[in-house]
Amino acid sequence: MKLIPRFSVLLSCKINLSAQAMKNIAIFASGSGTNAERISQYFKDKSQVSIKLILTNNTKAGVLDRAAKLGIPSLVFSRSDFYESEAVMNRLQAEKIDWIILAGFLWLVPSNLLRAYPNRVVNIHPALLPNYGGKGMYGMRVHEAVVASGDKESGITIHYVNENYDEGQVIFQAKVGIDASDQPQDLAAKIHELEYANFPVVIEKLLNEE
């Protein structure tokens, strides 16, 4: 893998899905859905991977418009759908979903989904865990905390999901330097570039290794 200018990438991925069976992916997102869109575009022409469904807990999420433009079915669910019924699980099973990808999804994943998809629920976090993780640490809140701390670098963490926020086993991390003049929005732009460049590739590597 080529290094992105100014970024230090900590994992090299060799990809070969040609001999494997079709893998169906569901993406969960709560916001604009830029990562969901990048992932969907990355796998668009790959015959062994299908983005079957995009799900959100937010009726106003921008990811719904992105899903429509991409021609991918979407599902909006409520808190009770997610935590008090099998509505979401039933839809995932109907679509024969193999992997769940969290791309800016803000709710804790319930235990019934984790049991149904052991080591097949993957999240991306916009910092170098275990730092700057946990409940309430997402989006610009993370970047504001990192810049305020005076840290010289930040990055992304891709990890398996467990019963606690941001505590699952780390799969991949990539770093980026923080300039003295960087504001939270500057750091956010750098982190987005890391996410877009690495998240789809790491997902593909996980599918390839299965």
How is residue 57 annotated by DSSP? S
CA dihedral sign of residues 95, 70, 107, 119: positive
Instruction: Give dist(CA 67, CA 146) in Å, integer.
Output: 31
Catalytic residue among 125, 143, 159, 192: 125
Q: What are phi and psi of 185, to 5 degrees?
A: -70, -30
125 in catalytic set: yes
Q: Which residues pair with 83 in a beta bridge?
A: none
Report how far apart, in Å, the C-alpha atoms of 106 and of each of 57, 148, 151, 172 are.
9, 23, 25, 20
Q: List active site positions.
A: 125
